[in-house]
C-alpha cells in the first residue's frame, strides 16, 4: 500500500493480505484468531523474500557488499522499532525470539541478580503463562515469591488489592498491557506510577497491545516492555525487549557466544556494549527486517481510524452474542480490545471450534495459556474470536451463522 489511508477502507486494506483470499473447507476464510497471530501484508512477505533473494549475509563483521546491505537493513529495523516505541535510544532495543524470551531474559538476568529471599514479584491473575512461569523459576532460584494481583468477575484488575499488596518487599510488578484471554486493557499507567512509589520495577507484556494503538515507553515510564513481531503483522521468531538503559547496563548477559563479547581469552572475557551484550549468536536478520516492514506498513495507516473500526466490529459481535440464547461472554471489562471470549451452553469449546472450522471460520479454543484465570471462572477454557482491522461486520455475521449451524449438532 503506497498511499496513506485517511478514511479507513477495510475492503481496500484486505487487499494487502493475500491469505484473506484463501478458502478453507470450501468456504471463504474468516480469520478470527488474531490474538494468537496476525496475518501478514504483502509488504512484509516481500521484505523477507527480498532479503533472501538479494541481501542474504550475516551482519556486522562482513567486509563485503552483501554484509553491509544486510547490516544496514537489520540495524535500520532496530531504529524503526525504537521510533515506534519512542525509546530514547536504539541501544535500549534488544532483539529476542518473542515476548516469551523477552520476559525470560529479564527474569533470568535482572531477576536472579536482584531478587533475594523474602522479596516478592507481583503478576496479575489473568497473565499468560509466559509472564508467570519465568518469574516462578527466578523465585525458586533466589528464594523470592510470586503472588497474583486479583481480578474481578468482569476481568478487571483489582487496583484496591494492588494497593494492599504493594510494600517495600515487592521488587517487580510484571503485567500484561492487554489480556490475551479476556481482552481487558489494564490501567498500566496507574500500575507503573503506584509500583514506582514503592521502589518496584515494572515489566509490561505488550504482545496484545502493540497491534491496536501506538505505545510510548517514555510516557508510560515502564522499566521494561516486551512484544512479538508476529502479533504486529510481522513474522514469527522475532521479538523486542525495551529496557531502561541503567537497568540493561547493570544486568549480566543472559547467553554467551559470538557478538555479545568485546574480547575473549582464557584469562577472561569482556562483554560488548548495549544492545549486543544480550544478542549472542546469529540473529533472525530476515525477521528483524520484516518487522521493520510491518512497522512501515502501520505507520502509513490512519491507526486511529483502524482502531475505531476494530472497536465497532467488537461491539457488533458482542451485541450479537448478547442477543443469542445460551451464549455467555467471559471477560466483560469496561476497557477492552477486540477480543470476544465466550461459551455456548451445552457445548465444549474444542468441539465448537472444530465445527466452526468446517465452515471456514477460524477461532481459538482452550485456556489460551491462561489457566489461572480459567480456574477462577471454574471453566476449562473458552472460544475466543479476536478481531483485527481487516475484519468486517460481514465476517461477524458469518461467525454467528456458523455458530447457529454448529449448535444443531448438540
Average pLDDT over residues 283-311: 97
The domains located in the chain, with CATH, are 10-39+302-407 (3.90.1150.10), 47-299 (3.40.640.10)
Beta carbons within 8 Å of 371's beta carbon, 6+ residues apart: 129
- The C-alpha cell of 121 is what? 514479584
Q: What is the pLDDT of residues 20-69, one digit of tens each?
A: 999 999 999 999 999 999 999 999 999 999 999 999 999 998 789 999 99
Sorted by sequence, the CB contacts under 8 Å of residue 319 that are 6+ apart come out as: none
- Annotated active-site residue in 369, 376, 379, 393: 369
Mean of the per-residue pLDDT values for the chain?
95
Question: By 3-state DSSP, what share of the chain in percent is helix, strand and coil, each rounded to 5?
Answer: 45, 20, 40
Residue 261: per-residue pLDDT: 86
Q: What is the pLDDT of residue 179?
A: 97
User: Which cell numbers hold the place of 322?
Assistant: 448478547
pLDDT at 409: 84
pLDDT at position 61: 80
Instruction: Output the pTM of the full model.
Output: 0.95
As beta bridge partners, residue 340 has: 385
Parallel, antiparallel, or unpaired for β 23-24 and 170-176? unpaired
CB 185 within 8 A of CB 55: no
Q: Is 222 a catalytic residue?
A: no
For residue 2, what pLDDT is reported? Answer: 40
- Cell numbers linked to 287: 525477521
Question: In this model, does residue 4 exceed pLDDT 90?
Answer: no
* Percentage with pLDDT > 70 across the chain: 98
Exposed, middle or buried: residue 320 (CB in 10 Å: 0-12, 13-18, 19+)?
middle
What mean pLDDT comes out for the span 346-366?
96
Average pLDDT over residues 161-185: 97
| Residue 410 confidence class, pLDDT cut points 50, 70, 90 | confident
Q: What percent of the chain has pLDDT over 90?
A: 93
- What pLDDT score does 396 carry? 98
pLDDT grade for 262, boundaries at 50, 70 and 90: confident
Q: Which pLDDT belongs to residue 3?
A: 43
For residue 201, the model assigns a pLDDT of 98
Task: Answer whether residue 7 shows pLDDT above 80.
Answer: no
pLDDT (average), residues 119-142: 97
Amino acid at each position: 500500500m503506497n498511499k496513506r489511508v485517511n478514511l479507513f477502507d477495510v475492503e481496500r486494506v484486505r487487499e494487502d493480505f493475500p491469505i484473506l483470499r484463501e478458502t478453507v473447507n470450501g468456504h471463504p476464510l474468516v480469520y478470527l484468531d488474531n490474538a494468537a497471530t496476525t496475518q501478514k501484508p504483502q509488504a512484509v512477505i516481500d521484505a523477507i523474500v527480498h532479503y533472501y533473494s538479494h541481501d542474504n549475509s550475516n551482519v556486522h563483521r562482513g567486509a563485503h557488499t552483501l554484509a553491509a546491505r544486510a547490516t544496514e537493513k537489520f540495524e535500520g529495523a532496530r531504529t524503526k522499532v525504537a521510533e515506534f516505541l519512542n525509546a530514547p535510544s536504539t541501544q535500549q532495543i534488544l532483539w529476542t525470539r518473542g515476548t516469551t524470551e523477552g520476559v525470560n531474559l529479564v527474569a533470568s538476568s535482572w531477576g536472579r541478580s536482584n531478587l533475594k529471599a523474602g522479596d516478592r514479584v507481583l503478576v496479575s491473575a489473568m497473565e499468560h503463562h509466559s509472564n508467570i512461569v519465568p518469574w516462578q523459576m527466578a523465585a525458586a532460584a533466589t528464594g523470592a515469591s510470586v503472588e497474583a494481583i486479583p481480578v474481578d468477575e468482569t476481568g478487571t484488575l483489582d487496583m484496591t488489592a494492588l494497593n494492599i499488596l504493594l510494600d517495600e518487599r515487592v521488587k517487580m510488578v510484571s503485567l500484561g498491557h492487554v489480556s490475551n484471554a479476556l481482552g481487558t486493557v489494564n490501567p498500566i499507567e496507574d500500575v507503573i506510577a503506584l509500583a514506582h512509589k514503592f521502589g518496584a520495577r515494572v515489566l509490561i507484556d505488550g504482545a496484545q497491545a502493540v497491534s491496536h494503538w501506538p505505545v510510548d515507553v517514555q510516557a508510560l515510564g515502564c522499566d521494561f516492555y516486551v512484544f512479538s513481531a508476529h502479533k504486529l503483522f510481522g513474522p514469527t521468531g522475532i521479538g523486542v525487549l525495551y529496557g531502561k538503559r541503567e537497568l540493561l547496563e547493570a544486568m549480566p548477559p543472559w547467553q554467551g557466544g559470538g557478538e555479545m563479547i568485546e574480547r575473549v581469552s582464557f584469562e577472561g572475557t569482556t562483554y560488548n556494549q548495549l544492545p549486543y551484550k544480550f544478542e549472542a549468536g546469529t540473529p533472525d536478520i530476515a525477521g528483524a527486517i520484516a518487522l521493520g516492514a510491518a512497522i512501515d506498513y502501520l505507520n502509513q495507516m490512519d491507526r486511529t481510524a483502524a482502531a475505531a473500526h476494530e472497536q465497532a466490529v467488537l461491539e457488533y459481535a458482542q451485541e450479537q452474542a448478547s442477543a443469542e440464547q445460551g451464549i455467555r461472554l467471559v471477560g466483560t471489562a469496561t476497557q477492552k480490545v477486540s477480543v470476544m471470549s465466550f461459551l455456548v451452553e451445552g457445548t465444549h469449546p474444542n468441539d465448537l471450534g472444530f465445527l466452526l472450522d468446517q465452515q471456514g471460520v477460524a477461532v481459538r479454543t482452550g485456556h489460551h495459556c491462561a489457566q489461572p484465570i480459567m480456574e477462577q471462572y471454574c471453566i476449562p477454557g473458552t472460544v475466543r474470536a479476536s478481531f483485527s482491522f481487516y475484519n468486517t461486520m460481514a465476517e461477524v455475521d458469518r461467525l454467528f451463522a456458523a455458530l447457529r449451524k454448529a449448535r444443531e449438532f448438540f
